[in-house]
Amino acid sequence: MIKPSVYVTRDIGSEAITLLKNHCDVTIWNKPVPVTRDELIKNVAGKDALLCLLTDKIDSEVLNAAGTNLKIIATMSVGFDHLDVKEIKKRNIKVGYTPNVLTDATAELTVALLLATSRRLLEGSEEARTGGWKAWSPFWMCGPTLSHSTVGIVGFGRIGQQVAQRLKSFNIKNLLYTGHSEKKEGLEIGAKFVSLDELLRESDFVIATCALTPETANMFNDLSFKKMKPSAVFVNTSRGGVVDQDALIRALKEKTIWAAGLDVTTPEPLSTDSELFNLKNCVVLPHIASATIETRNTMAMLSVKNILSGLRNKQMPSELII
Residues recognised as catalytic: 287
Contact stretch for ligand DGY (CB under 6 A) within 1-9, 74-82, 133-141, 246-254: 74-82
Q: Which is nearer to ligand DGY, 54 or 304 (CB)?
A: 54
Could you tell me the smallest distance in angstroms from the CB atom of residue 172 to ligand DGY?
A: 25
Q: What sign for the dihedral angle of Cα 218, 224, 228, 230?
A: positive
The amino acid that residue 206 corresponds to is V
Rule CB under 6 A: choose which of 16, 78, 101, 302 binds ligand DGY: 78
CB atoms within 10 A of CB 285: 18
Task: Measure the CA–CA gap between 51 and 95, rounded to whole angstroms.
Answer: 10
Distance CA 316, CA 152 (A): 34
- Using the rule CB under 6 A, is 13 a contact of ligand DGY? no
Cβ-closest position to ligand DGY: 79
Q: Based on the shown chain and the rule CB under 6 A, indicate whether residue 95 belongs to the binding site for ligand DGY.
A: no
Q: Is 207 in the site for ligand DGY (CB under 6 A)?
A: no
3-class secondary-structure state, position 54 = coil
Could you tell me if 80 and 59 are in contact, meaning their C-beta atoms sit under 8 angstroms apart?
Answer: no
Helix and strand numbers, DSSP H then E, in the chain: 12, 13
State the Cα–Cα distance between residues 62 and 52, nearest whole angstrom. 12
CB of 290 to ligand DGY, least distance (A): 3
Q: Is 298 in the site for ligand DGY (CB under 6 A)?
A: no
Taking the least distance from each CB to ligand DGY, the nearer of 79 and 124 is: 79
Per CB under 6 A, contacts with ligand DGY among 31-70 are: 54
290 sits near ligand DGY (criterion: CB under 6 A): yes
First to last CA, the chain: 32
> Is the CB of 49 or the CB of 320 nearer to ligand DGY?
320
Q: Which residues contribute to the site for ligand DGY (CB under 6 A)? A: 54, 77-79, 102, 290
